[in-house]
Amino acid sequence: MKFGGGLITLEKRAAPSPVMAVLVPVISVVLALLVGAVFLKLTGQGPFPIYMEMFSRAFGTRYGLSETIVKSIPLMLAGLGVAVAFRMQLWNIGGEGQLFMGAFAATWVALNFPDQPAWFLLPLMFFAGCVGGGVWGLIPALPRAYMGVNEIITTLMLNYVAILWVEYLVYGPWKDPQGYNFPLTAKFSAGAILPTLGDSRIHAGLLFGLTIAVVLWVVFNRTRWGYEIRVIGDSPGAARFAGMNIPRNILVVMAVSGAVCGLAGMAEVSGLMHRLQPGFSPGYGYTAIIIAWLAKLNPLAIVLVAFLFGGLQVGGYIVQTSGVPATMVAMLQGSVLFFILGGDILLRYRLRWRRPPDTTVKGKEVGT
C-alpha cells in the first residue's frame, strides 16, 4: 500500500495474531455503531439514548428478550447454512432463496395434508424444508462442480426466482379464499405448527438451530468429511493430490448448505407465521452472510452472533416509534461487515509507518 511517498507499509505477520482475532470483530461493531451515530445525529436524534433504548428493549425485558430469540432463529439457521458452504470457500449468497424454497416446500406439505396429526406432519415438513432448500442449493452447484461456473452470481440470481415464485403462489393459486383477498395462504392446521415454549412466541425452531450448530461443530472439527471440506476449501490442489473427490463434495456441501437454509424457512412458516406470505423474510439469508463471517464460520459462535443480531433487529423495530428509520439496522449490519472484512487484513499483516525511501535517479533518456 502506498500513500503519497510510500508512508504506510504492510508487513506480513509470522503467524496470525490471536489478539486481533478477538479485537477485530469487537472494534468492527464499535466502529459500525459510530458510523450509525453520525447518521442518527444528522437526522437530529441523540445516538446514545437511541442505542441505549435499542439495547434495553431488545435484551432487558422479558418480552424483548423472547422476541430477540424469535428473530435469532431464522438468522441462526440461515447463518449455519451459509457457513457450511463458506467453509469450503463456496460463496453461497443464495441463503435467502433457499430459505424461501424451504418455506415453500414445507407449506406445500401443510396445505396438502391438513388433517394429518403433528407427529406425521412436522417431520414431513422438516424433511420438505430441507429438500426444498437443498435442491435450490444443488442447482447452482452442478454448473460450479462440472464447469467452474461462478456460484456467487448463480446463487444470487436464484434468490429472485425463489422469492417471485413464492409471491406468485400467494397472489395466485395458493391464496386463501377466506383471506379477504390478502396475499396469504390459508392458516396451517394445528398439526402443521411447531410447538412453542410456554406462552411465548419462541418455537421449536430454536432447538433445530442449537442442535444443528452442535452437529456442524462436530462435523467440521471431528469427522473425516469435515476434514475434507477444510482441505478442499484451503487448497484444491492438495485435495486432488490426496485423492479427494472435489466435484462430489461441491454438490454435497451446497445441498447441505441449502438444506439448512431451507430449514430456516420451514421454521418461520411452521413456527411463527403459520402460513406462507410474501416478504416473510426481511433478508434473513443476506444477514446470515454477515453473521457467518462475524462468527468466523464457527457454528457455536454463529448461535451467539445470531442472538445479537436478533436483538439489533428487535431494537430497530422498537425505536421506529421514536422516528428512527428501520433501515438504520440494515445500515449498521452493513457497516459491521464492512469493518470486519477490512479489519481481517490486520490478522495477517501489521501496519508499519515508514519514511519515504531515498530519492533514486530516474532512468535517463539515451539516444541510440
Partner 1 sequence: MSTEFLVQLKGITKRFPGVVANHQVDLTLRPGEIHALLGENGSGKSTLMSVLTGLYRPDEGEIYIGGQRVHFRSPHDAIKAGVGMVHQHFKLVDTFTVAQNVILGDRRVPFIPSMSSIEEEIAQISSGYGLAVNPRAYVWHLSVGEKQRVEIIKMLYRGCSVLILDEPTAVLTIQESRQLFANIREMAAQGRTVVVITHKLHEVMEIADRVTVLCRGEAVATFERGGFSERDLALAMVGRDVVSKVEKPAARKKDVVLDLQDVYALNDLGRLGLRSISLTVYGGEILGIAGVAGNGQRELSEVVTGLRPVIRGHILMDGVEMSGEGPRGFIDRGVAHIPEDRLGAGLVPGLNAVDNLILKEYRRKMARGPFLDRRGAESNALDLIGRFGVRLSSLYNPVKYMSGGNLQRLLLAREISSEPRLIVAVYPVRGLDIAATEAVHRLLLEQRAQGTAVLLISEDLDEIFKLSDHIAVLFEGAVTGVLPAAGADAEEIGLLMMGSRKTEEQAV
Among 55, 225, 338, 349, binds partner 1 (CB under 8 A): 225
What cell was used for 207?
Answer: 432447538
Which residue has cell 454477515?
290
The whole-angstrom separation of Cα 347 and Cα 359 is: 32
Q: Which is nearer to partner 1, 87 or 203 (CB)?
A: 87
Rounded to a whole number of angstroms, the minimum distance from the CB of residue 182 to partner 1 is 48
Q: Is 238 in the site for partner 1 (CB under 8 A)?
A: yes
Among 26, 30, 242, 351, binds partner 1 (CB under 8 A): 242
Among 222, 248, 352, 354, binds partner 1 (CB under 8 A): 222
Binding mask of the shown chain, residues 167 to 206, with x at each position contacting partner 1 by CB under 8 A: ----------------------------------------
What cell was used for 98?
Answer: 433457499
How many residues bind partner 1 (CB under 8 A)? The answer is 29
Q: Is 234 in the site for partner 1 (CB under 8 A)?
A: yes
Which residue has cell 439448512?
260
Binders of partner 1 in range 347-366 (CB under 8 A): 360-366
Among 148, 243, 327, 355, binds partner 1 (CB under 8 A): 243
Binding mask of the shown chain, residues 9 to 28, with x at each position contacting partner 1 by CB under 8 A: -----xxx------------
Provide the sign of the torsion angle of the four alpha carbons 341, 343, 348, 354, taken in this order: positive
Q: Is 367 in the site for partner 1 (CB under 8 A)?
A: yes
Q: Which is nearer to partner 1, 122 or 239 (CB)?
A: 239
Total Cβ atoms within 10 A of residue 220: 19
Q: Position 144: which residue type?
A: R
Rounded to a whole number of angstroms, the minimum distance from the CB of residue 356 to partner 1 is 14
Rounded to a whole number of angstroms, the minimum distance from the CB of residue 229 to partner 1 is 11
List Cα–Cα distances, 8 to 3, 4, 11, 27, 137, in angstroms: 7, 9, 10, 21, 43
The whole-angstrom separation of Cα 69 and Cα 63 is: 10
DSSP string over 10-58: EEE-SS--HHHHHHHHHHHHHHHHHHHHHHHHHTT--HHHHHHHHHHHH
Q: Which is nearer to partner 1, 86 or 174 (CB)?
A: 86
Whether the Cβ atoms of residue 251 and residue 340 lie closer than 8 Å to each other: no
The whole-angstrom separation of Cα 290 and Cα 293 is: 5
Q: Which is nearer to partner 1, 199 or 365 (CB)?
A: 365
List Cα–Cα distances, 72 to 124, 278, 308, in angstroms: 24, 20, 8
Rounded to a whole number of angstroms, the minimum distance from the CB of residue 18 to partner 1 is 10
Long-range contacts of 197-204 (CB under 8 A, 24+ apart): 200/66, 200/70, 201/66, 201/67, 201/70, 201/272, 202/66, 202/69, 202/70, 202/73, 203/70, 203/73, 203/267, 203/270, 203/271, 203/272, 204/267, 204/271
Residues 6+ apart with CB under 8 A from 198: none
Q: Which is nearer to partner 1, 34 or 238 (CB)?
A: 238
Binding mask of the shown chain, residues 302 to 341, with x at each position contacting partner 1 by CB under 8 A: ----------------------------------------
Q: Which is nearer to partner 1, 165 or 241 (CB)?
A: 241
Q: Which is nearer to partner 1, 16 or 117 (CB)?
A: 16
Q: Is 230 in the site for partner 1 (CB under 8 A)?
A: yes
Interacting residue ranges for partner 1, rule: CB under 8 A: 14-16, 222-225, 227-228, 230-231, 234-235, 237-243, 360-368
